[in-house]
Amino acid sequence: MPDTDATAISADLRAEIVETAVTSRASVRAFLPTAVPKETIARILEAASYAPSGSNMQPWKVRVVTGAVKDRLVEAVSAEHDAGRMQERDFKYYPTPFPEPYLTRRRATGWGLYGALKIEKGDKEAMHRQHGRNFLFFDAPVGLIFTIDNSLEMGSWLDYGTFLQNIMVMARGLGLATCPQAAWCSFHSTVKEVLEIPDDEIVVCGMALGHADTSEIVNDYRPVREPVDGFTQFLGFDG
Ligand SMILES: Cc1cc2nc3c(=O)[nH]c(=O)nc-3n(C[C@H](O)[C@H](O)[C@H](O)COP(=O)(O)O)c2cc1C
């Protein structure tokens, strides 16, 4: 059960703990091989299941993979990626054409990441290799594959985001790291084949979970955020 006793710890400490969990979460792209116990993953998912969803539909379905099953998935999808056999996505993640200001932000994030890795612009082979690390779950010991029933509507996809964020923040609270990964959607058929996922489910994304390898420079990169005033209008506060 979630702790609903607001007096158990001071309000300031509570705010600080939650704020730190949220703001210190970052996408980690290099993990240590240290195993994560099944009980810990179950605890994370149980906490995440308190996510709100329209009519409490709870549209999430999760496959947690490790060991031989993860190896099979990694091998099958990496082979497809290396052969350049991307599969048309079940849903469109990004708009075409890519409008501003999102294009600028996307480029800044991409180049920031490749810059941290000293990958030069135009070095397609190095970029392909780095992208391919997605399909190793960045060496994390645990991978998660998220799916949703294809009969559900956009509202349930909105719900899904709250669930994913709960997982990432709860993992952070336990000293673990994550990387959400839409990259797996480009190989959804292979993912579904290996994990025997029924045809009426759509692969929403994957996620790497484990202990961050803090010695890897890729994990130092922090994309910047817009200031609150850049995306918010405060209305009616001045009387
Ligand atoms: C749904 C979703 C899918 C993502 N897919 C990928 C991915 O496939 N590979 C990757 O390296 N990062 C992926 N990211 C991570 C974003 O690049 C990252 O969240 C963003 O740059 C902000 O950085 P931060 O998470 O470190 O704060 C994804 C993030 C989200 C929310």
Domain coverage including residue 41: 23-93+135-221
| CA 26 to ligand 1: nearest atom | 26
Report the SS3 class of residue 86.
coil
CA of 146 to the centre of ligand 1 (A): 15
φ and ψ at residue 87, rounded to 5 degrees:
-105, 140
Which pLDDT score is estimated for 8?
A: 76
Is 116 contained in some domain? no
Is 235 contained in some domain? no
In the chain, which ranges are continuous DSSP H helix? 11-23, 38-48, 67-82, 102-116, 124-132, 154-173, 188-195, 228-231
Is 239 contained in some domain? no
| CA 138 to ligand 1: nearest atom | 11
How does 108-139 read in b/e, with b if 16+ C-beta sit within 10 Å? eeeeebbebbebeeeeeeebeebeebbbbbbb
Is 27 contained in some domain? yes
Probe residue for ligand 1, chosen from 179, 188, 205, 222 as the CB with the greatest number of ligand atoms within 8 Å: 179
Is 181 contained in some domain? yes
Which pLDDT score is estimated for 5?
A: 59
Is 34 contained in some domain? yes
Q: What is the CATH number of the domain that holds 197?
A: 3.40.109.10
Which pLDDT score is estimated for 2?
A: 56
CA of 94 to the centre of ligand 1 (A): 13
Q: Mean pLDDT in runs of 10 for the chain (239 residues)?
A: 65 94 96 98 98 98 98 98 96 96 96 94 94 98 98 98 98 97 98 98 98 96 96 95
Is 78 contained in some domain? yes
| Protein residues with CB under 6 Å of any ligand 1 atom | 26-27, 29, 109, 134, 179-183, 205, 223
Taking residue 220's Cβ as centre, other Cβ atoms within 10 Å add up to: 9
How many domains are there within the chain?
1
Q: What is the rounded distance in angstroms from the CA atom of residue 47 to the CA atom of residue 39?
A: 12
Q: What is the rounded distance in angstroms from the CA atom of residue 20 to the CA atom of residue 123?
A: 37
Question: Does the pTM exceed 0.85?
Answer: yes
Is 110 contained in some domain? no
